Structure 1
Amino acid sequence: MFLILALIAGWTAIVVSLSPWVGTWPVLVQAIFYLVAGIIWIAPLKPLLRWMELGTWRR
């Protein structure tokens, strides 16, 4: 559970640290960036949740 929270906090810190540059982009490009950034963090979470449920990294 703490690893999930650390993953979310770390990803949030990365995205927030990029906000000064992203804020200068056109609004549509910003929306696409934040949409992609909001989806990308799920990729490393999926294997972690599988490991928590099954106790193994493989199916």
Structure 2
Amino acid sequence: MGNRTRRFLAMIGVLVFLAVWIWAVIALRGLFGPNMLLDLLFFAVGGIGWGVPLYPLFKWAEAGRD
């Protein structure tokens, strides 16, 4: 598989993952009552934590690069 194809597939994977990630964080937050501290916790972890699960995808996208 060529580098361009691999990167394109990784880009599509990132977009799909982020859509699901954002939906999940908002849905989980909606299960609890209104609380500013809880908002800060959910959205801080959600905003920072998305990169960790995507690391293997980024690594795969750059594999075989010459």
Instruction: Report the TM-score range of the alignment, normalised by the length of the smaller protein.
Output: 0.7 to 0.9
Residue deviations 1:1-59 (CA, integer Å, cap 9, x gap) = 1111000011011112234334x24212210121011112111111111110114xxxx
If the length of structure 1 is used for normalisation, what is the TM-score?
0.72
Q: Give 5+ residue unaligned stretches, structure 1.
A: none
Aligned to 2:60: 51
**How many matched pairs?**
54
Identical-pair percentage:
35
Q: Normalization by structure 2: what TM-score?
A: 0.66
2:5 is matched with none
Q: CA RMSD in A?
A: 1.6
Instruction: Please state whether the residue corresponding to 2:46 is helix, strand or coil.
Output: helix
Pairing partner for 1:13 from 16, 20, 23: 23
Question: Hey, what's the Cα distance between the residues in 1 that align with 2:58 and 2:30?
Answer: 32
Name 1:30's counterpart in structure 2. 39
* Higher radius of gyration, 1 or 2: 2
In 2, distance between residues paired with 1:49 and 1:21?
32
Which 4+ residue blocks in structure 1 deviate beyond 3 angstroms? none
